[in-house]
Amino acid sequence: MKGSSIAPGARIGSDVHIGDFTTIHENVVLGDGCTIGDHCVIGAPAGDAAPLQIGSGSNVRSHSVLYAGSTLGSGLETGHHVLIRAGTRAGEGLRVGSFSDIEGACEIGDFARLHSYAHVGRGSKIGHFVWLYSLTILTNDPLPFSKLHRPVVLEDGVVVAVGATLYPGAIMRLGSMAAARSMVKGEVPPGCIVSGDHQVRGHVTKLKDLESGWRHPWMRHSGDAYPEKAQERIRQLLESILATA
Amino acid sequence: MKGSSIAPGARIGSDVHIGDFTTIHENVVLGDGCTIGDHCVIGAPAGDAAPLQIGSGSNVRSHSVLYAGSTLGSGLETGHHVLIRAGTRAGEGLRVGSFSDIEGACEIGDFARLHSYAHVGRGSKIGHFVWLYSLTILTNDPLPFSKLHRPVVLEDGVVVAVGATLYPGAIMRLGSMAAARSMVKGEVPPGCIVSGDHQVRGHVTKLKDLESGWRHPWMRHSGDAYPEKAQERIRQLLESILATA
Amino acid sequence: MKGSSIAPGARIGSDVHIGDFTTIHENVVLGDGCTIGDHCVIGAPAGDAAPLQIGSGSNVRSHSVLYAGSTLGSGLETGHHVLIRAGTRAGEGLRVGSFSDIEGACEIGDFARLHSYAHVGRGSKIGHFVWLYSLTILTNDPLPFSKLHRPVVLEDGVVVAVGATLYPGAIMRLGSMAAARSMVKGEVPPGCIVSGDHQVRGHVTKLKDLESGWRHPWMRHSGDAYPEKAQERIRQLLESILATA
């Protein structure tokens, strides 16, 4: 941790590794077994007194900036150059891809996974086991520019494919999916696919890869990419999505 | 400013705060009351002798790279991981969101606001009170790849919503608006909305948020988000846009 | 190189310049005449023993992260905040724009050029003299989310314009072009243009800038933007693309 500094008030767990040129500010609570990469700013002051809490076993990669005032569960994993602003509450197992930006005042469930350049607008609500692929954006201003604020809601098991735009106030219900490059402008019913300009296309169970024969939802074929402790919840999520078909 | 360095030739105003691991190069002129975050490179050498001038009261957040050879007015505010290349001339009150890239040789008016991942191609001209939302791009090569260079012009009061692409040579006239994900391929008349594949849709005064009843242009309902000293200019801008309806 | 460190095992050529706060890890081989900017992580450990090799005359700009286990040819040039993961093999003259992300296990030919925010998915294959413009993405999961992996192939001389999305398994043949914002979903025949939702539009030789009268492919009018040693190969590439008209 050449050149790094840990403020006296920070509470650092055991077996923590801090990279070079990284600053850990006051009011940071870092769980056991965390790794923080080089060139990070952890607990950047955000004008209020709430601490930044990062759960055990987390891995924050280089050049990331995490503001004070957020609570991020155990097993957090970020890519490089990630930004998480104040007031974010995330469950366990959150993954945030490189260059992604979580604008704060957000609620995020367990095991959510964001790829790179995902932009989560301020105030968004994201459930458990949600996927946001690269270059997706969750907006919140219905009349840009205005002071109105109508953030997006993504329920459990939602998948947002690359380049999709979630319009202000969009609500994606349980297990629904936004196709690549789609524009989601209102409510998407449970388990449904939306593509193009908010065209609802039927249930995700109809989505099949012809080469492999694999069918959606993803819990059928790829749920084992998650840790063992998540498996029972994934099975329950699958059942609840299938029940909407 | 642990680890930071200020080159002997740099002229630094009073009450300036420099973050950790930041380098202020020669040929930088920093106004009074500025804050520069951690891990920044300010005045990166750009092969010519022009200084980088940053006006008073500016706030440059961490991991930003600002090249020599630009003049940025007072009250500049950048997000994190921002890149501004040489030859950018911007007025007062410029805001540049995280991960945005201003490619240089640009002219930008007063109080322009860019959200995150906005890409301003080299040579772009941007007026006063312009908005560029996230993932917007101002291109300049009409025949990619070619050595041709036809940058974009955005006049005063223009709004470019999320994900819009400005094609080379596009001209958006006073107070016009590019809808989310639109492709702007030529001239947009004053006060008009363009959406989809350069479809001109009528005047922005027709744009209304049903829930709030608020109508565009934004100066009607949200101009007070700007500082007091900008209010008279905002009123005049509103009048001139309404006159085009 | 204030604050920088070079691991004892790293092999550094002559006339190399290392910026401030940069770490050169073990297992890095840097050719002669290279410049590495500030705040970089070069040879970030990637779990295997392969070195990171960077050819002579390369220029890696600030805040970039290059993992161990890649071989990058001479004359590499990166923008700022660039990420290149392990297992990337690139030829000479690669340019990678700011905020771009090469996800590893990729093959890239000579003189490929990426603009900013280009996302190259893991396993992609990219030929010689290929262009990827800003906000382009090369995906690889045909059924997101799934464990399936079907990366993209771009043959020599391909141009991918701004905002285009390459769907999993897409193959762009010799000299073909994806128009701005297009969605490429299968095979694009040699020399053809694809636009919109994978609509094949004819041969690139029909593409002409009316103002200049210049015609595609780009080797006709702008090949001299490449170094002299590339000119004979550019001439041969032009001939082979014209032969597909």
Write out pLDDT tens, residues B160-177: 999 999 999 999 999 999
**Ramachandran category for residue B109: left, alpha or beta (phi over 0 → left; psi -120 to 50 → alpha):** beta
Smallest CA–CA separation between A222 and chain C, in Å? Answer: 5
From the list B3, B20, B99, the residue facing A101 with the nearest CB is B99
Residue of chain C whose Cα is closest to the Cα of A213: C143
Per-residue confidence at C47, pLDDT binned at 50, 70, 90? confident
Tell me what the mean pLDDT of segment C89-115 comes to: 98
Could you tell me which chains touch chain C, where touching means 3 or more CB pairs under 8 A? A, B
Of A65, A119, A145, the CB nearest to B222: A145
pLDDT of residue B137: 98
% of chain A with per-residue pLDDT over 70: 100
Q: A143 exposed, middle or buried (CB, 10 Å; 0-12, 13-18, 19+)?
A: buried
Confidence (pLDDT) at C125 = 98
- What is the rounded average pLDDT of the residues B113-128? 98
Which chain C residue shows the shortest CA-CA distance from B182? C181
Output the pLDDT for position A68: 97
The ipTM is 0.97
pLDDT of residue B27: 93
Mean pLDDT of chain A: 97
The rounded mean pLDDT for chain B is 97
Whole-number pLDDT of residue C202:
95
Which range, A4-8, C5-9, C164-168, has the best average confidence (pLDDT)? C164-168
Put simply, the answer to whether A207 touches C65 (Cβ < 8 Å) is no
- Residues above pLDDT 70, as percent of chain B: 100
pLDDT digits (tens, 9 = 90+) for B146-159: 999 999 999 999 99
pLDDT at B4 over 90: no
pLDDT at site A26: 94
Closest Cα in chain A, distance from residue B219 (Å):
9
pLDDT, tens digit, for every residue of B24-48? 999 999 999 999 999 999 999 998 7
Q: Looking at residues B69-73, what average pLDDT do you find?
A: 97
Mean pLDDT throughout C59-79? Answer: 98
**Residue C57: half-sphere exposure toward Cβ, Cα within 13 Å:** 7
Q: Which of A21, A80, A98 is facing C21, going by the closest CB pair?
A: A21
**Per-residue pLDDT reduced to its tens digit, C186-239:** 999 999 999 999 999 999 999 999 999 999 999 999 999 999 999 999 999 999
Q: For chain B, give the percent of residues with pLDDT over 90.
A: 96
A117 to chain B: which residues are within 8 Å by CB?
99, 117
Pairs from B154-157 (Cβ < 8 Å, separation ≥ 24):
B154/B124, B154/B125, B154/B126, B154/B127, B154/B130, B155/B127, B155/B190, B156/B109, B156/B127, B156/B128, B156/B129, B156/B130, B156/B237, B156/B240, B157/B127, B157/B128, B157/B129, B157/B130, B157/B217, B157/B219, B157/B237, B157/B240, B157/B241
- C148 CB neighbours in chain A (<8 A) are 209, 211-212, 214
- CB-CB contact of C163 with C115 (8 Å): no
For A18, C28, C167, C187, C189, the CA distances from C194, given in Å and listed in that order, are 48, 41, 13, 10, 9
* A142-168: pLDDT as tens digits: 999 999 999 999 999 999 999 999 999
Question: If residue C231 lies in a helix (H) or strand (E), which one and from where to where?
Answer: helix C231-242
pTM exceeds 0.90, yes or no:
yes
Residues of C in contact with A80 (CB under 8 A): 65, 83
